[in-house]
Amino acid sequence: MIIDCKGLVCPEPVLKTKKALEELPNDSILEVSVDNVASKENVLRFASKQGFSADAEDLGGNVFKITIVKGYECGIVAQTPSNESKFLNKVLFIKDDKVGENELGSMLVVGFLKSILELPKLPQTIIFVNKGVLLTSADESSDVIKILKNLEEKGVEIFSCGVCLDFYKVSDKLKVGKIGNAYGTIETLFNSEGTISI
């Protein structure tokens, strides 16, 4: 089966892929065409989370063909219980690049993120939306990028809304984490034991 998702905005490529995979029998191949990196990453991640083998081919001109084989394990190793124990099944949802206003707001957001590193258990996921994506696309030498990279190294999943990155024209400046999508964000929020929003 072949589906064309070029020109579609988040989360449509993932939703169309999900629907097509549900209709296909096992041991089938699905080809998905997309026209941006965010959609490519989101479809690949979705397929991988479902346990399917997936690969992307760059056709040039910012067009990608994703081939998903339904029914074959992708070989992702499950987290060990000891690794899971250092995380809380909680999501930190960050909607702004400041906590409050102006310079104080910028200082507070850095302080809050830095404090997470000192917690005995870390949040499983941090999701950045709206102006929050300006934090994950900040200058490489900024304190916030160093903190977020440290959290990522410790195993915290970090996602930035792809539509938001495009809106603020910083998609090419993403320094930490992965590009997320609306479907993945809602799925993560619903599967968590709690969301903390700042």
Token pair for 70? 């339904």
Provide the β-strand partners of residue 32.
Answer: 3, 66
110 vs 139: CA distance, rounded Å: 14
10 is catalytic: yes
The beta strand positions in 17-73, using DSSP E, are 28-34, 53-60, 63-70
- Nearest Cα to 119, choosing from 156, 144, 149? 156
Which residue of the set 5, 10, 161, 164 is catalytic? 10
Instruction: Output the 3-class SS for 84-122.
Output: HCCEEEEEEEECCCCCCCHHHHHHHHHHHHHHHCCCCCE
| Token pair of 149 as six digits | 């990279």
Q: In a 10 Å sphere around its CB, with 0-12 CB exposed, 13-18 middle and 19+ buried, how is residue 85 labelled? A: exposed
- How far is residue 65's CA from residue 56's CA, in Å, rounded to a whole number? 6
The residues that are catalytic are 10
